[in-house]
Amino acid sequence: MKLLITGFNGFVAGSIIAQAKGKWEIHGVGRSEGPGDEGGLIYHNLDLLDTPGLTALFNTIKPDAVIHTAAMANIDSCQNNQQQAEKVNIGITQTISSLCKEHDAKLVFCSTDSVFDGTKGDYKETDTPRAVNFYAETKISGEQLVLAASTKNVVARLGLVMGLPVMGQGNSFLADTIDKLKKGVQIPFPINETRTPIDVITLGSALIELAGNDFGGIIHLGGNTKIRRYDMALQIANTLGFPTDLILSTDSNSMPERATRANDASMDNSLAKKILNTPMLSLSDGLNLTLNFKK
């Protein structure tokens, strides 16, 4: 079975690749230099905006499943560069959805808890998304494209992803937090944002499972702990033995020149716990898993 993963050098993709090795023939796509071909992992250097190149790649690989992790994910960058965000988050998703339909490949699309406006929390898969920033608008459009292309496709809405990079650097707030705590640097964390964080190892396992099973539709991949981001940072600092007074509280929606954030984007993970063999974990168990993961 052939698995194509976009965003090869990204944080989430690294966990997928590390855990899928030996179970799938893995093809990774990214824009920067990769490792070449190594033990069941084949890397393709390609800009996903190159539609003819991407089409040729699909024709060559003929993947059985695609996990689309690549995105323009910085909320403020999307707000300030809307045309580019639309090209990446909507345009590429449209192309990949069409190619998956043409090749009868299952598509697992990585969406986000940010599609919700944060007015109630504990969001279920049946709740209607409402965007509070342009990033969320692009991901909602992407979800619609993926679901319209095939009933076997999956929209996986990810909670706040926590963990250490498995391959490369990725965009890990935990790695950045630990680095700053070691230097004694004070770090602001939003006290107004409530999330259901999921560790990157559990997330990678769940996405691989979704690529290979019969589930189609929307699923929420979040951990079992509903927590404010500020309190999460306090728990991380305390667990790792750093002074908690280095964690400062802030209101992300009071910071100038920033796109609006959803206050309570926590998600109900009941469906994931029902249909997946991959267990959803608490914050403490997820932190332990990612800190001790061995490739």
Residue 106 domain-assigned (yes or no): yes
The answer to whether position 73 is within a domain reads: yes
DSSP characters over 95-120? HHHHHHHHHT-EEEEEEEGGGS-SSS
Give the pLDDT score at 241. Answer: 96
**Structural domain contains residue 150:** yes
Is 42 contained in some domain?
yes
Listed in sequence order, the DSSP H helices in 23-133 are: 51-61, 75-80, 82-86, 92-103
Q: How many domains does the chain have?
A: 1
Residue 234 lies inside a defined structural domain of this protein:
no
Among left, alpha and beta (phi > 0; psi -120 to 50; other), residue 129 is: beta
Q: What are 208-251's pLDDT values in tens digits?
A: 999 999 999 999 999 999 999 999 999 999 999 999 999 999 99
pLDDT reported for residue 171:
76
Q: Which domain holds residue 121?
A: 2-162+197-224+266-281
Give the tens place of pLDDT for each residue, 71-127.
999 999 999 999 999 999 999 999 999 999 999 999 999 999 999 999 999 999 999
C-alpha distances in angstroms, 78 versus 72, 81, 92, 137, 261? 7, 5, 15, 10, 13
Q: What is the pLDDT of residues 79-95, one digit of tens each?
A: 999 999 999 999 999 99
The CATH number that applies at residue 202 is 3.40.50.720
- Which pLDDT score is estimated for 36? 55
For 40-60, the pLDDT digits (tens) are 789 999 999 999 999 999 999
Give the pLDDT confidence of 1-29 residue by residue, as tens digits: 999 999 988 899 999 999 998 899 999 99
CA angle 242–248–249, rounded 5-degree value: 135
- In angstroms, the CA 106 to CA 7 distance is 17
Q: Is residue 174 part of a domain?
A: no
Residue 204, domain member (yes or no): yes
Does a structural domain hold residue 211? yes
